[in-house]
Amino acid sequence: MKTLVLKAGRDKSVKRRHPWIFSGAVERVEGVTAGSPGSGETVLLKSAEGKTLALAAYSPQSQIRARVWSFDPGVTIKSAFFETSIAKAVRLRAALPAARHTNALRLVHGESDGLPGLVVDRYADVLVAQFLSAGAEHWREAILDALAAATGCEAIYERSDAEVRALEGLEPRAGFARGNREARRCPIIEHGLNFRVDVEAGQKTGFFLDQRENRQRVRALAEGREVLDAFSYTGGFSLAALAGGAKHVTAVESSAEALEVARENLAANPLDSSRIVFEKADVFSYQRLLRDRGRRFDLVVLDPPKFAPTAAQAKNAARAYKDINLMALKLLAPGGLLATFSCSGGVSAELFQSIVAGAAVDAGVDARIVERFGAAADHPVALNFPEGDYLKGLLVLRT
């Protein structure tokens, strides 16, 4: 096995059990053969003083040069390692309260489950897997075997089409990795509501499972309220609000395909369709149109796509977040609530709060935070990996 020797003083994060080793921290490669390790190859990490630190997957093209599989150097990285790790992750989800209310859960959440670059969501009897790192790609077949064994699911659809694969030197790939069945409208249940999930062409793996409990909170708040659901995608928040007794829901989404699924989701539930309208429009423009029409809402939900994947895009993202929140606050009636979210890893919780605060000032309204939101419990965040805490949200009351 080849060894990555870190530069002097560059082992502090590894000792704190952070799973990423950046290229600038590597002093040299040692091993019985010449040359760099192959993509996804397991390497031993050592400090400059020669102390063994961890076992990791090597990624020759990424700035994250290695991702830790285990901080126990006595572990052997082979098929059994993935069988054990995946079975443990699946058991964790089975024990969650959410498992009693839905048949759709995130089963593997990358680094926070000790499996860097691997994301697996379960939609009823279909698994959707993303192999987003060189290490996960290297062990793809063993991981697929372990997933099938741990879940009993015969159909595993692969959505390894995220842009981050390019940073690992990997080509995009999508399609059935195991089994084959019609999966464009996979039916799931969430807290009594029926949804159709397009695992083949939908955003991410097809549905935003991380917002499950936040949808429930919006459902509890919606009774008697006029609701605006911006960036509504396939109608998750909209249907939750409708089920919660909303007076009326306006769902705004720019994707015709997503709205088609949203209408199917509405039809799959015993909800009053006269109390909801779907609008195909750009949210930024449509908010201004609503303002010009003098519309007012009692509850606004802002769940936009990722504006800033990394901190480098944070400045431009901040302008976009401020724009939509400013307009949302102007559209809120006094006493109204704004549920606003950011899933951008490059925007911290502190920055996001500051952006929303600035939007309130510019909108000329007084507002206060009454709740904070995060991802559902099947998206755990390892204490040593704060980067996993990507979803942040605020419930803001306009006073």
Would you call 186 a catalytic residue per the annotation?
no
Residue 385: its H or E element = none
For residue 38, how many C-alpha atoms fall within 13 Å in the half-sphere facing its CB? 6
Q: In this structure, is the dihedral angle defined by the CA atoms of residues 323, 324, 325 and 327, taken in order, positive or negative?
A: positive
Which of 224, 227, 247 shows the shortest CA–CA distance to 238?
227
Number of residues assigned to the chain: 399
Which of 217, 193, 266 shows the shortest CA–CA distance to 376?
217
**Rounded to the nearest 5°, which phi and psi values hold at 192?**
85, -5
Cα–Cα distances (Å) from 274 to 87, 254, 286, in that order, read 45, 21, 21
For 380, the token pair is 């755990």
Residue 140: its H or E element = helix 140-151
Residue matched to tokens 């940073």: 167
User: Which of 115, 251, 343, 363 is the catalytic position?
Assistant: 343
For 51, the token pair is 């102390």
Contact between 185 and 204 (Cβ < 8 Å): no
SS3 217: helix
Contact between 205 and 225 (Cβ < 8 Å): no
73 vs 50: CA distance, rounded Å: 13
Bridge partners (DSSP) listed for residue 44: 3, 55
162 vs 312: CA distance, rounded Å: 18
122 vs 85: CA distance, rounded Å: 17
Residue ranges of alpha helices (H) inside 161-313 are 164-167, 212-221, 236-243, 256-267, 283-292
Which residues fall within 8 angstroms of residue 159, CB to CB, at 6 or more apart?
128, 129, 130, 174, 199, 204, 205, 206
For 208, the token pair is 């935003």
Catalytic positions: 343
